[in-house]
Chain A
């Protein structure tokens, strides 16, 4: 009777533990299967090697624990005195060696396939810089930046965190299903690493190098990843979002983008023609500043020590206008202050510089027009 109760109790405890695991933890304990043939093969290799390790572990640790139990002094007072066996040494050298060969075979064949970057249907050049990605569609000849879109209020615990906290971006990379997509990765500053677990693609983006990787995604959907190489302050805030569309929708998306680019260049001409008021520029400038500049210089322009100079009362934002324009457009060499000219439009640059000269108590009253920016390009 007591043993039955014992068994019941044990069963109960075990099943609560299991349930706990399943609800609280199961979501994130194992490698994700992903959505490509390669990611699933890698999962198999992972499970296979894990299983071998577990079996070996059970055997070795089991023997140890048995020995600790059976050969403790109180039970086994007189130690044996063997201490060498050629046969044993040969066996436990050879058997692991054979097991390793068994592991190396599937790993080798998967690796050969992963490294075969030939015959791609589509190529995307991924250029990293602190702390964003740029995607260039080489076949359609256009590209854009992709920035994290999680607001700083969520990071600083002032707002509740959204479901995809720090994994969401303004412009996702868009890819088609069922096509072999080749990625070329490189970097404008330090080393970053482009990683989307569901594709099992992790490729370093290294300045001066162009690395290759590829994927073929079978199902449409949204997939997320992160930068996987320490790249400075905001390494944690450099997410990747990939939207995978069925083929026809993807083709349509490309056409839409090309059209949008044409419209934008028309818009740029119109922006240049117009003379903007201080209020208009300040308004746009604030948004541009928060999205691009505030992570280092802080929203109130106070900067961070000597690493990220303060703009409030700063030498350049309150000094000569052309030096200021130059610094924002070309950046400062070898620092995290990057060149913004290729990243922002004339209007955005004009308004953010105007903003810096008038916000944070700088109050110079200066106005920079998009035309001035256009002419200094």
Chain B
């Protein structure tokens, strides 16, 4: 991407110029790029940790990772994937795309935007540095239940707490920026009900973020004072309540899982119509479904806590509310299928990933529905069945969502087409590997394998081996993805401004690569057909 004149500072060495360009940038596209590279880097770090986990679980017995180290790997893998990969990945996409989709010149609060991003490298350096400290990194799982994380946590827990605070600040500021941008900078004529779905889903996600990240901040602050300032929020000995921790955590945690998927819904809703060459079916019901999912997500946190001794009435309420979420989720899936129905489809890489997303996410939704049934959850809970469930919604869900978005908009960002043959190869290897890795985990969980264990009894050996081989493949396919992205940045067939013949939206009316500054003058909306035609 071209460095434009206003960033070049005279009489400085190229290194300083480079650093100050990226450190000081307030441009939404550059910040989007920073977010995406951070997410991608952390994806490989957390992925390497997953490889350690799967290597250890390849066979029963202890081979590579001592139990405490294994627990650190499980914890850091989860934390980094959730907070460092999926969330910044989606924020990066939001930065790149929201202003272009609503016809705005930039985000509403550009300096805040710079600040939100630059908090993150420090937050993750803090978190990852804990691996090298006395006593090791946090080892209590990404859900960090008290008192394992408070009274019994390693000294590095304080770094973890600080890291979470920083990420939280970054997310809240980013979310505020997104809300302000969407509410104030839409081009004239784009009413709320005319916004592209990616914008809609991000608007709702941003509200979820603003509402629940402070709750997470509260949870870690209570942990901090329990650990150092003599309070006993979560310690039974001092009159506190360890289960309170779980209520606070999951009040954040369940909306959080929707933060991790709603933008993915938006992405699928942009991509499927383009390649089906047919308008999105049921736009209004898509919006209402997303809003209802978001509202319901505040009522169901208890479904992570069925075995903590909840009273019957609470169990029933949470079970019904959780099952209810399946209804709007189903509506979304049906609408995507109806969009494809009688379209005129081609299957370029973004479409393949979007279809993979819909199918495999739905499988995760099915297991979610099964988990909601409290009697059955007593058997499923804290087993690999749950691990299978959330990896189906997160890997082929959130991660495939991000990948299809990258393939779809990369030509717009770089001006070059990616290599279609390699893209397809990436998709097919990834889809085989993802299923090989995570499908057997359903069987393991049903047969009784608890999650978060470093070692397992002999009857689980076969499926664990299959899953580990799949995981190795999955890791390799992502190296291919990195290669494809770099190759596209460096060159390739030139992309037209519309890129895809029936793509709709303001971002396709500007040239590819998108110039650093776009829409200094507001575009026309609704978009006239000739706006797409200038090359």
Q: Using Cβ atoms and an 8 Å threshold, which residues of chain A touch B341?
A: 63, 67, 71, 80
Q: Using Cβ atoms and an 8 Å threshold, which residues of chain A touch B66?
A: 304
* Selected contact of A230 from candidates B140, B240, B308, B457, CB within 8 Å: B140
* With known contacts A56-B366, A191-B148, A89–B285 Cβ distance under 8 A: yes
Q: Give the Cβ gap from A21 to chain B, nearest Cβ, in Å.
A: 10
Q: Give the Cβ gap from A164 to chain B, nearest Cβ, in Å.
A: 7
Contact string against B for A residues 152-185, beta-carbon threshold 8 Å, 1 for contact and 0 otherwise = 0011110001011111000000000000000000
B23 within 8 A of A: no
Closest to A236 in B: B453
Assess the B316–A111 pair: CB atoms within 8 A. yes
Assess the B308–A206 pair: CB atoms within 8 A. yes
Q: Using Cβ atoms and an 8 Å threshold, which residues of chain B touch A307?
A: 68, 135-136, 154
Assess the B342–A76 pair: CB atoms within 8 A. yes
Q: Give the Cβ gap from B121 to chain A, nearest Cβ, in Å.
A: 28
Q: Using Cβ atoms and an 8 Å threshold, which residues of chain B touch A63?
A: 337, 341
B42 within 8 A of A: no
Contact string against A for B residues 118-155, beta-carbon threshold 8 Å, 1 for contact and 0 otherwise = 00000000000000001110011100010110011010
Complex: how many Å from CA A193 to CA B455? 17
Q: Using Cβ atoms and an 8 Å threshold, which residues of chain B touch A336?
A: 152
B18 within 8 A of A: no
* Selected contact of B327 from candidates A84, A96, A306, CB within 8 Å: A96
Assess the A78–B236 pair: CB atoms within 8 A. no
* With known contacts A107-B375, A233-B71, A84–B448 Cβ distance under 8 A: no
Assess the B71–A71 pair: CB atoms within 8 A. no
Instruction: List residues of A (85-100) whose CB comes within 8 Å of B's CBs.
Output: 85, 88-89, 92-93, 96-97, 100
B446 within 8 A of A: yes
Instruction: List residues of B (410-463) whose CB comes within 8 Å of A's CBs.
Output: 443-444, 446-448, 450-460, 462-463
Assess the B282–A84 pair: CB atoms within 8 A. yes
Q: Using Cβ atoms and an 8 Å threshold, which residues of chain B touch A304?
A: 66, 68
Tell me which of A40-48, A261-269, A320-328, A360-368 binds B.
Answer: A40-48
Instruction: List residues of B (367-386) whose CB comes within 8 Å of A's CBs.
Output: 367, 369-370, 373-376, 378-379, 381-383
Q: Give the Cβ gap from B54 to chain A, nearest Cβ, in Å.
A: 16
Looking at A63, A227, A229, the one whose CB has the most chain B CB atoms below 10 A away is: A229
* Selected contact of A107 from candidates B241, B307, B374, B379, CB within 8 Å: B374
B184 within 8 A of A: no
Assess the A83–B340 pair: CB atoms within 8 A. no
A1 within 8 A of B: no
Q: Give the Cβ gap from A151 to chain B, nearest Cβ, in Å.
A: 12
Q: Give the Cβ gap from B231 to chain A, nearest Cβ, in Å.
A: 14
Assess the A30–B447 pair: CB atoms within 8 A. yes
Contact string against B for A residues 56-79, beta-carbon threshold 8 Å, 1 for contact and 0 otherwise = 110011011001100111001111
A53 within 8 A of B: yes
Q: Give the Cβ gap from B367 to chain A, nearest Cβ, in Å.
A: 8
A-B contact count (CB 8 A): 303
Contact string against A for B residues 271-283, beta-carbon threshold 8 Å, 1 for contact and 0 otherwise = 0000011111111
Assess the A193–B373 pair: CB atoms within 8 A. no
Assess the A24–B456 pair: CB atoms within 8 A. no
Tell me which of B260-268, B318-326, B481-489 binds A.
Answer: B318-326
Q: Using Cβ atoms and an 8 Å threshold, which residues of chain A touch B453?
A: 226, 235-236
* With known contacts A79-B277, A79-B278, A64–B323 Cβ distance under 8 A: no
* With known contacts A100-B326, A111-B316, A229–B382 Cβ distance under 8 A: yes
Assess the B326–A96 pair: CB atoms within 8 A. yes
* Selected contact of B136 from candidates A41, A80, A305, CB within 8 Å: A305
Complex: how many Å from CA A180 to CA B326? 36
Q: Give the Cβ gap from B76 to chain A, nearest Cβ, in Å.
A: 14
Assess the B378–A201 pair: CB atoms within 8 A. yes
Complex: how many Å from CA A227 to CA B373? 22
Assess the B345–A157 pair: CB atoms within 8 A. no
Closest to A114 in B: B375
Q: Using Cβ atoms and an 8 Å threshold, which residues of chain A touch B60?
A: 161, 165-166
Assess the A111–B71 pair: CB atoms within 8 A. no
Q: Give the Cβ gap from B118 to chain A, nearest Cβ, in Å.
A: 33
Tell me which of A119-127, A207-215, A250-258, A345-353 binds B.
Answer: A207-215
Assess the A96–B330 pair: CB atoms within 8 A. yes
A interface residue count range (under 10 / 10 to 19 / 20 to 34 / 35 or more): 35 or more
B331 within 8 A of A: yes
Instruction: List residues of B (169-213) whose CB comes within 8 Å of A's CBs.
Output: none
B63 within 8 A of A: yes
Complex: how many Å from CA A197 to CA B444? 13
Complex: how many Å from CA A80 to CA B340? 10
Complex: how many Å from CA A88 to CA B382? 38
Q: Using Cβ atoms and an 8 Å threshold, which residues of chain B touch A24?
A: 462
* With known contacts A60-B333, A114-B375, A202-B381, A231–B446 Cβ distance under 8 A: no
Assess the A64–B346 pair: CB atoms within 8 A. no
Q: Give the Cβ gap from A172 to chain B, nearest Cβ, in Å.
A: 16
B525 within 8 A of A: no
A115 within 8 A of B: yes
* Selected contact of B362 from candidates A57, A88, A161, A211, CB within 8 Å: A57
A204 within 8 A of B: yes
Complex: how many Å from CA A336 to CA B139? 14
* Selected contact of A83 from candidates B140, B280, B366, CB within 8 Å: B280
Assess the B152–A100 pair: CB atoms within 8 A. no
Assess the A93–B307 pair: CB atoms within 8 A. no
Assess the A80–B134 pair: CB atoms within 8 A. no
Q: Using Cβ atoms and an 8 Å threshold, which residues of chain B touch A41?
A: 375
Q: Using Cβ atoms and an 8 Å threshold, which residues of chain B touch A206?
A: 236, 242-243, 308-309
Assess the B243–A335 pair: CB atoms within 8 A. no
* With known contacts A63-B341, A230-B71, A232-B148, A202–B358 Cβ distance under 8 A: no
Contact string against A for B residues 217-250, beta-carbon threshold 8 Å, 1 for contact and 0 otherwise = 0000000000000000000110011110000000
Q: Give the Cβ gap from B463 to chain A, nearest Cβ, in Å.
A: 7
Q: Give the Cβ gap from B499 to chain A, nearest Cβ, in Å.
A: 17
B531 within 8 A of A: no
* With known contacts A32-B448, A111-B316, A229-B382, A78–B344 Cβ distance under 8 A: yes
Complex: how many Å from CA A72 to CA B342? 9
* Selected contact of B342 from candidates A32, A79, A164, A334, CB within 8 Å: A79
Q: Using Cβ atoms and an 8 Å threshold, which residues of chain A touch B376?
A: 42, 45-46, 49, 107
Assess the A232–B152 pair: CB atoms within 8 A. yes
* Selected contact of A157 from candidates B62, B312, B323, B451, CB within 8 Å: B62
Complex: how many Å from CA A82 to CA B283? 12
Q: Using Cβ atoms and an 8 Å threshold, which residues of chain B touch A77?
A: 344
A200 within 8 A of B: yes
Assess the B278–A83 pair: CB atoms within 8 A. yes
Complex: how many Å from CA A95 to CA B316? 22
A145 within 8 A of B: no
Closest to B340 in A: A67
Q: Using Cβ atoms and an 8 Å threshold, which residues of chain A touch B331?
A: 89, 92-93
A355 within 8 A of B: no
Assess the A97–B327 pair: CB atoms within 8 A. yes
B355 within 8 A of A: yes
Assess the B444–A28 pair: CB atoms within 8 A. yes
B359 within 8 A of A: yes
Q: Give the Cβ gap from A302 to chain B, nearest Cβ, in Å.
A: 13
Assess the A79–B359 pair: CB atoms within 8 A. no
Q: Using Cβ atoms and an 8 Å threshold, which residues of chain B touch A71?
A: 276, 340-345
Q: Using Cβ atoms and an 8 Å threshold, which residues of chain A touch B62?
A: 155-157
Complex: how many Å from CA A78 to CA B280? 16
* Selected contact of A193 from candidates B281, B312, B382, B448, CB within 8 Å: B382
Closest to A89 in B: B285
Assess the A92–B343 pair: CB atoms within 8 A. no
Name the 5 nearest CB pairs between A and B, nearest first.
Answer: A208-B236, A28-B447, A236-B453, A211-B309, A53-B366
9 A–B contacts, CB within 8 A, in A order: A71-B344, A93-B330, A163-B458, A201-B378, A202-B379, A203-B307, A233-B68, A236-B453, A306-B134
Name 7 extra pairs, CB < 8 A, besides A53-B367, A97-B327, A225-B448: A60-B334, A67-B337, A79-B278, A81-B279, A103-B369, A204-B309, A227-B450
